[in-house]
Amino acid sequence: MNDITRPATPSLGRPSDAPTLGMLLNMVRSEMVRTIEAEMSSQGLDLSFTQYLIIKKAQQLGAVSATELARAVELDGGAMTRQLDQLERKGFLRRSPHAQDRRTLSIELTEAGHAVWQNTASVCGQRVTNAAQASLSHAEQAQLLDYLERVLHTLRDKT
């Protein structure tokens, strides 16, 4: 019965039940997220992947507004407010009023925030990222990133 429902595929291509790009992205991403969170947890650091990204970006960008940060990590503004609440409660960042624009916040890592990034979070991220790509040569790793960037731009520009 399977022979009938499965239309003859050109036998040179990939098997018809091989994971497609969307499915694969789904799986690789969630596996990677899980692993990074587990790695941080094993170091006694209780951070979600989203919070990991926020701290990373905050560290890269220095003082930024919530909106800029939200754009940088592709997170909804409302969700960002709540994540900032949590990260502020944990003592990793600080909201201060913006000098020129009273609507805007200036968000910055605290000392504890910088420390947690340098000593733990970035290390966990690096370790997992390296482990994930361990079966690829350096050239292949670069190619993978390049392909993904090209796919991203194609999806955004065209469609």
Partner DNA sequence: GACATATATTTGCCTTGACAAATATCTTTC
Partner DNA sequence: GAAAGATATTTGTCAAGGCAAATATATGTC
The binding site for its own copies (CB under 8 A) comprises 1-2, 5-6, 14, 16-33, 35-36, 49, 53, 59-60, 62, 73-74, 125, 128-129, 131-136, 140, 142-145, 147-156, 158-159
Q: Smaller CB distance to DNA: residue 81 or 154? A: 81
For residue 102, state whether it binds DNA (rule: CB under 7 A): yes
In the complex, the smallest distance separating the C-beta of residue 105 from its own copies, rounded to whole angstroms, is 19
Q: Measured between alpha carbons, how far is 25 from 32 in angstroms, rounded to an integer?
A: 10
Reported as type and span, the H/E element at residue 52 is helix 49-61
One of 50, 57, 58, 109 touching DNA (CB under 7 A): 50
Q: Are 11 and 34 in contact (CB under 8 A)?
A: no
In the complex, the smallest distance separating the C-beta of residue 83 from its own copies, rounded to whole angstroms, is 15
One of 6, 77, 115, 126 touching DNA (CB under 7 A): 77
Q: Measured between alpha carbons, how far is 115 from 70 in angstroms, rounded to an integer?
A: 22
In the complex, the smallest distance separating the C-beta of residue 90 from its own copies, rounded to whole angstroms, is 21
Burial profile 34-50: b = 16 or more Cβ within 10 angstroms, e = fewer? ebbbebbeebebebebb
For residue 87, state whether it binds DNA (rule: CB under 7 A): no
Q: Are 132 and 32 in contact (CB under 8 A)?
A: yes
Q: How far is CA 111 from CA 4, 85, 87, 114, 116, in A?
A: 64, 17, 13, 5, 9
In the complex, the smallest distance separating the C-beta of residue 41 from DNA, rounded to whole angstroms, is 11
Interface residue list for DNA (CB under 7 A): 30, 48, 50, 65-68, 70, 74-84, 86, 95, 98, 100-105
